[in-house]
Amino acid sequence: MTAPSLSYWLATAPPFAGGAQGGVEGKVDVAIIGGGFTGLSAALALAKQGASVVLLEKGRVAGEASGRNGGQCNNGTAHDYGALSARFGKDVAKAYYRAHCDAVDLVERIAADEGIDCAFRRCGRVKLAAKPAHYDKLVRAHDLLAAEVDENVRLVPPERIREEVGSDAFHGALIQTTSAQLHPARFGVGLAEAAARAGARIFENAEVTGMDRLAGGGWKVTTPKGSVMASQLLVATGGAPPAAPFGFFRRRIVSVGSFIIATDPLDDALIAQLLPNRRNYVTSKNIGNYFRLAPDNRLIFGGRARFAISDPRSDLKSGRILEEVMGDIFPALKGVGVSHVWGGMVDLTADRLPRAGEQDGMYYSMGYSGHGVQMATYMGQAMARVMGGDTSPNPWAGLDWPSVPGHFGKPWFLPMVGLWYKWQDLIH
Ligand SMILES: Cc1cc2nc3c(=O)[nH]c(=O)nc-3n(C[C@H](O)[C@H](O)[C@H](O)COP(=O)(O)OP(=O)(O)OC[C@H]3O[C@@H](n4cnc5c(N)ncnc54)[C@H](O)[C@@H]3O)c2cc1C
């Protein structure tokens, strides 16, 4: 096994060569805080619009969620479409769903336009019914999606499930056929190179420790490498526990660990038996799993194994749980070598809908709740337009965003939430 907590994606991505050298200084139109998909996509779009841009990243570009995720770039919302429709009405639910589909198209377009070698592939996403009753729900979901918003969906009835997955654990499935997958860290580094080529100055190892409003308008943004004056500011700090200057977001974003293992490469005959169509897979439980094959035939198998934060010790503990679950689903993989174990922080909102807009003169976009590969990329571009005065591209404008009661940054309540979800999985 390689070093704990080393994401397979980050271990197999090229280094970022276009980073800015020297001190952080000067005056720019926009300062972006955070070098994940949100910040990098915004930097690319803003630089292409002709703005002068500085991006400040605490660690390495795409080093957090953007380089540690499951690599699934799926159509559709984190939510059940029917529940969204019941809460917001059909038109809004449709707009949210379509925004995710547009976001997948955008990722594909950026990868093609910027020549990013990230193995983008329209593979389809399979939602696997973990209990017989879950298949009934998938049938209802399919019928509503097909009637209202997505014709590219199809059902796999229980008796044909082995055409999709070589396991006795599932009872039918719903496929969103236009969903895609990619190598996320390669995409992130490629986005950073593209933004740097367009003129954005991207500083790694430059944690923002202070933001001060200037009397005449604009901001002074401080890092250990120096300070920069910016007319506008975009906070794109994702789910990495945000430091002191970001109090507003700390009280609204709940950062939860999600964990992944990568196996040694599997041989083609075994893959033909287990996952013949090489799609994205998610299971229907609340504490479910997500998996897919990597380009070199490793199985990337993830889940919220424990309701905990991600750190090297927690990642290893979770990795052992994931290995067991993987073996339960695919007995043929019991004892297969595990090459990488890692985790990352997912930026959840209380209702699992993203939030983006302006707060106290700061622009922000975050809270993708596990669906950020496509949506963070999309929102980076959208926020570039919003900051230019056109609010129409922000699908999340107007959503209220109360703070989470009792939450001040450390999610002390996670174990209780975990128990509640486990209970729900037992009874439903
Ligand atoms: C394990 C895991 C699996 C996932 N699987 C999927 C999936 O399969 N499909 C999907 O769609 N989504 C998935 N997600 C979610 C998705 O990865 C995220 O929603 C998306 O990457 C968020 O991008 P971001 O740029 O907003 O945040 P991030 O990628 O977290 O980037 C934020 C950046 O801000 C930096 N930062 C924070 N504070 C400061 C500061 N003070 N100064 C400077 N920089 C700072 C951080 O270092 C970080 O690099 C997963 C997430 C995780 C953790």
Amino acid at 304: R
What integer pLDDT is reported at residue 408 of this predicted model? 62
The DSSP H or E segment spanning 364 is strand 362-366
CA 428 to centroid of ligand 1, rounded, Å: 31
DSSP 3-state assignment of 73?
strand
- Strand boundaries in 7-141, DSSP class E: 27-33, 53-56, 72-73, 121-122, 125-128
pLDDT attached to residue 137? 95
CATH code of the domain occupying 8-418: 3.50.50.60
pLDDT of residue 35: 98
**Torsions phi, psi of 102, nearest 5?**
-60, -35
Pocket test for ligand 1, best of 5, 24, 66 (most atoms within 8 A of CB): 66
Please identify which residue in the block is written with the tokens 């009835």. Answer: 157
The whole-model pTM stands at 0.94
Nearest residue by C-alpha to atom 10 in ligand 1:
371
Ligand 1 touching residue 58 (CB < 6 A): yes
Q: How far apart are CA 205 and CA 192, in angstroms?
A: 14
Mutation pick for ligand 1 pocket among 123, 203, 368, 375 (CB with most ligand atoms within 8 Å): 368
The CA 236 to ligand 1 mean position distance, Å, reads 9
Supply the residue whose CA is at minimum distance from atom 31 of ligand 1.
Answer: 36
Contact criterion met (CB below 8 Å) for 9 and 339: no
Q: Does the CB atom of residue 354 touch ligand 1 within 6 A?
A: no
Taking the centre of ligand 1 as the mean of its atom positions, its distance from the CA of residue 64, in whole angstroms, is: 5
Tally Cβ neighbours within 10 Å of residue 352: 15
Residues 6+ apart with CB under 8 A from 213: 219, 361
pLDDT of the chain, 428 residues: tens digit per residue: 444 478 999 999 999 999 999 999 999 999 999 999 999 999 999 999 999 999 999 999 999 999 999 999 999 887 889 999 999 999 999 999 999 999 999 999 999 999 999 999 999 999 999 999 999 999 999 999 999 999 999 999 999 999 999 999 999 999 999 999 999 999 999 999 999 999 999 999 999 999 999 998 999 999 999 999 999 999 999 976 556 567 788 888 888 888 999 999 999 999 999 999 999 999 998 778 999 999 999 999 999 756 677 788 888 888 899 999 999 999 999 999 999 999 998 888 888 899 999 988 999 999 998 999 999 999 999 999 999 988 888 999 989 988 876 666 666 555 556 555 555 555 55
Q: For ligand 1, is residue 371 a contact (CB within 6 Å)? A: yes
- Ligand 1 center from residue 136 Cα (angstroms): 33
Name the residue of 74, 346, 378 to mutate for ligand 1: max ligand atoms within 8 A of Cβ: 346
